[in-house]
Amino acid sequence: MNATLDSNDLDFTHAFDGIAKPPPPLAAASEAQRKEVTAVAVKLQQAGYCINIVRPATKSAPLAPGVKRSILCIDDDVPLAQILARKLTLDGYAARTASDRRTILAELQKLPPPDLILLDVGLPEISGFDLLHKLRQHPRLGSIPVIMLTGHVSPEDVLRGMTSGADGYVSKPFQFDALAVAIKTVLGMQ
Which CATH number goes with the domain that contains 153?
A: 3.40.50.2300
pLDDT number for residue 58: 61
pLDDT number for residue 21: 42
pLDDT number for residue 19: 34
pLDDT at 26 over 60: no
Per-residue model confidence as pLDDT tens digits over 61-103: 778 888 899 999 999 999 999 999 999 999 999 999 999 989 9
Domain that holds residue 75: 49-186
pLDDT at 20 over 50: no
Print burial letters for 6-33: b (CB count within 10 Å at least 16), e (below 16).
eeebbbbeebeeeeeeeeebbeebeeeb
Q: Are 168 and 186 in contact (CB under 8 A)?
A: yes
Residue 35: inside a domain: no
Residue 6: inside a domain: no
Give the number of domains in the chain. Answer: 1
pLDDT at 190 over 60: yes
Per-residue model confidence as pLDDT tens digits over 106-153: 999 998 999 999 999 999 888 999 899 889 888 889 889 999 998 888
Q: Taking the mean position of all CA atoms in its chain, how far away is CA 169? A: 8
Residue 5: inside a domain: no
Residue 174: inside a domain: yes
Residue 79: inside a domain: yes
